[in-house]
Amino acid sequence: MSQKILKTGNSLAVVVPADFGKSIGIKAGDEVRVFPKPEKAEVLYKFSGACQLSLSDNFFSRKRRTKSP
């Protein structure tokens, strides 16, 4: 997923897509913890209202590899 950075007043903002917000159970006004990693040019966000994402329907139906004797 790729998002553009927006200017909001004197700050910068990244928009969280509505589908993603709905899938993890967050809404406007929820708190988010921000963990900047400038040495890697990364930012990690942890949403307070987030729930566990569900597994795909076929996750458990995949065939397991058997070891050859």
**43 and 36 in contact (C-beta within 8 Å)?**
yes
Residue 1: alpha-carbon gap to chain centroid: 10
* End-to-end Cα spacing for the chain: 43
Q: Say how far apart CA 37 and CA 17 lie, in whole Å.
A: 22
The model's pLDDT over 11-62, given as tens digits with 9 standing for 90+, comes to 999 988 888 888 888 888 888 899 999 999 999 888 876 566 666 677 676 6
Q: Say how far apart CA 43 and CA 16 lie, in whole Å.
A: 14
| Pairing label, strands 11-14, 32-37 | unpaired
Whether this model's pTM surpasses 0.75: no
